[in-house]
Amino acid sequence: MDDRRGDGKARWEEETYRPFVKRSPERDVLYETLSGIPVQPLYTPEDLADWRYEDKLGYPGEFPYTRGPYPSMYRGKLWTMRMFAGFGRPEDTNARFKYLLEQGQTGLSTAFDMPALMGYDADHPRARGEVGREGVSVSTLADFEILFRDIPLDKVTTSMTINCTASVALAMYLALADKQGVGWDRIGGTMQNDMLKEFIAQKEWISPPESAVRVVVDTIEFCARHVPRFNPVSISGYHIREAGSTAVQELAFTLADGFGYVQAGVERGLDVDDFAPRLSFFFDIHNDFFEEIAKLRAARRIWATVMRERFRARKPESMRLRTHTQTAGVSATAQQPLNNVARVALQALAAVLGGAQSLHTNSYDEVLALPTEQAVTVALRTQQIIAEETGVPLTVDPLGGSYFLERLTDQMEAQAMDYIRKVDELGGIVRAIDLGYPQQEIADAAYRYQLMDDRGQKTVVGVNKYVMPEEKPVEYLRIDPAIEREQIERVRRVKASRDAAKVERRLAQLAEACRDGRNVMPVLVDAVKDYVSLGEISDVYRRVFGLYREPIIF
């Protein structure tokens, strides 16, 4: 019997691998992840020599949650298939919601248009040309009533991608629950509401960071006391990655944002175990298959460790990171857009193997426009095929124990912690943002990635390799310009039919709450019930908190 197996990896490299590649050279590609972590030709137990199974891996549903936040994972419940949807009028999106639910979707996800995201009503001059184009147009509770018509709020969970006006959207959702006769303790869902990542990456804001975080903590405090099944914030790495960060930077700055909210909640006087269990996350799933899986595993381990050691969390739920995921929009190509079906399928598989709780699969045409019904159906079917045909969900953490994956998880954890320590040294995430630290790091990473793309060091199929000189056009969704006129007329009718004195009183109450530090949520719920608009509430924020102007940092 050949007993050389015990001589180790170094012997194999010297005696077997190097002579072979000398005769038959390796391919001329970069052997590293998209984050720049070198990838070796082979991984063995020697790469985990100082590794303790219980400390690093453990068991699903137990600290440090590397293998998953729940013991049975997909054997008990599949991930929520939550397709992002929103366009045109509320009735248009309501119809898309119902179609997706009929096709087997298990949760709703709402995309709002740019005016709503920036705090303007449809009839505001700055909203012209943008109403209903990138998401659904909402200005008042009347729009929410149409948006969720015939959709019982206690029967389906709803995610809302909205940030600087998230407090308003939450108030409207709660007011709508009251109209439906649904108790707040029976509604579940998620508000994105992550203002820190707005200052880092997406750039949709009204007020400066300190005031913005104060309102986020208002929603966290309010939900902890009154809406116990609702996630008041979805701490979002997705936009950080889409802005050009590496996977390691996405991991680090997302968790740093999360720790920032936890610190702010504790400073408010809240017990960490009263609100941390309802904090949720949102990560991007890009092309580097194993790196994305490792990222989610490292995220769970870091969150659990810091929550226990720094914030003294006692409940397992406070240490258990739960995450929504979405395939990478920035990886999609306008050239040969049908290739995006393959990209999305592989990214979705990585999300599932990484243990995601919820998933949106992008449609192949989203790089061109909002998705058509056909395209969004293919995207949903991609998830259903993974769930029902592949066997992947039959066991928990099927890749756990892979020498390569575990080593990569450790490396990503270590590099992310270096960034997190740097943020702490700068005085916390708000101070780091003021200094431009995460913004500069992301800009540098985006530049490096684009250089590799331009030089052909990273292949983008159909763009810098396997290019087709002529392509057949793809049908895509077009928004009828008449929709804007209809929405403007609707919001004007609502404003004309309101009790003007009540509106003024509600706005004055909101301004007072903003000034004296009281939680704004009770005032907002009362205000939206009187059809005070999103834009009018945002104007109070602008007037009381002031407008944020991003400093020049480069």
Q: Which two tokens mark 513?
A: 């709450």
Contact 77, 85 (CB under 8 A): no
Task: Say if 546 falls within a structural domain.
Answer: no
Q: Which of 355, 351, 382, 341 is nearest to 104 (CA)?
A: 382
518 in a structural domain? no
Position 6 scores a pLDDT of 54
Residue 100 belongs to some domain of the structure: yes
Q: Which amino acid is at 50?
A: D
Q: How many domains does the chain have?
A: 1
Which residue do the tokens 């949102």 mark?
282
Inside any domain, residue 501: no
- Which residue range forms the structural domain that includes residue 250? 53-454
Q: What is the CATH number of the domain that holds 312?
A: 3.20.20.240
**Is the residue at 33 inside a domain?**
no
Sheet holding 158-161, edge to edge: 230-231, 189-191, 158-161, 107-111, 80-85, 358-360, 323-327, 279-285, 233-236
Position 38 scores a pLDDT of: 98
Per-residue pLDDT at 551:
81
Q: Give the orientation angle of helix 209-226 with respect to helix 521-529, to 10 degrees.
A: 80
pLDDT at site 50: 87
Return the sign of the alpha-carbon dihedral for residues 130, 132, 136, 139.
positive
Q: Which long-range contacts (CB under 8 A, 24 or more apart) does 58-63 make?
A: 60/396, 60/397, 63/304, 63/308, 63/316, 63/319
pLDDT score for 370: 85
Give the Å distances, CA to CA, from 146 to 92, 107, 119, 143, 150: 9, 18, 20, 5, 9
- pLDDT of the chain along its 554 residues, tens only? 444 555 799 999 999 999 999 999 999 999 999 999 999 999 999 999 888 998 999 999 999 999 999 999 999 999 999 988 899 999 999 999 999 999 999 889 999 999 999 999 999 999 999 999 999 999 999 999 999 999 999 999 999 999 999 999 999 999 999 999 999 999 999 999 999 999 999 999 999 999 999 999 999 999 999 999 999 999 999 999 999 999 999 999 999 999 999 999 999 999 999 999 999 999 999 999 999 999 999 999 999 999 999 999 999 999 999 999 999 999 999 999 999 999 999 999 999 999 999 999 999 999 998 889 999 999 999 999 999 999 999 999 999 999 999 999 999 999 999 999 999 999 999 999 999 999 999 999 999 999 998 888 899 999 999 999 888 888 877 888 899 999 999 999 999 999 999 999 999 999 999 999 999 999 999 999 999 999 999 999 999 999 999 887 66
Spatial distance between the Cα atoms of 13 and 49, rounded to a whole number of angstroms: 18
Which contacts qualify for 304-311: CB closer than 8 Å, 24 or more apart? 304/63, 304/64, 304/65, 305/64, 306/255, 306/259, 306/420, 307/262, 307/272, 307/276, 308/63, 310/259, 311/259, 311/262, 311/263, 311/266, 311/272, 311/276
pLDDT of residue 554: 62
143 within a domain of the structure (yes/no):
yes
For residue 315, what is the DSSP state? S
Residue 473 covered by a domain? no
| pLDDT of res. 286 | 98
Looking at residue 448, what is its pLDDT?
Answer: 95
**Structure confidence at residue 2 (pLDDT):** 47
Report if residue 499 sits inside a domain: no
* pLDDT at residue number 183: 98
| Whole-number Å distance between alpha carbons of 200 and 249 | 12
